[in-house]
Amino acid sequence: PKTVYVAAMGSAWGPNPERGVFRTRDGGETWDHVLSIDDTTGCAEMIMDPSNPDKLFAAMWSFHREPWFFTSGGEGSGLYVTHNGGDDWTRLGEDEGLPKGQLGRMGLTMSPADPN
């Protein structure tokens, strides 16, 4: 298996494009930026369905740090899912049981006995 996914938060000290989910299919020789929200939203955590390696969940977190202040959460934060190995992503919301309003940093887990 030469496919690897990386959840990247990016620099805490300012906006930058190195945030999101990256994927390689050739063992790291080339990388694709497969999930990018904006320059202040990174991927805090990602999990893979143990029964389907093409199904992944990504917890995206919008944040910004200054020496005297920290902003956490915002429009970019959210939970995303892909069913095709990162080619397409869907933001999950209220219809899938998530709360209304802006979300902050999320942790993810999945039952290996029943990933559905």
pLDDT digits (tens, 9 = 90+) for 48-107: 999 999 999 999 998 777 778 777 777 888 999 999 999 999 999 888 888 787 787 888
pLDDT tens for 12-59 read 788 889 999 999 999 999 999 999 999 999 999 999 999 999 999 999
C-alpha 116/C-alpha 109 separation (Å) is 12
Distances (CA, A) of 108 to 24, 28, 39, 111, 112: 22, 25, 23, 10, 13
pLDDT confidence of residue 47: 96
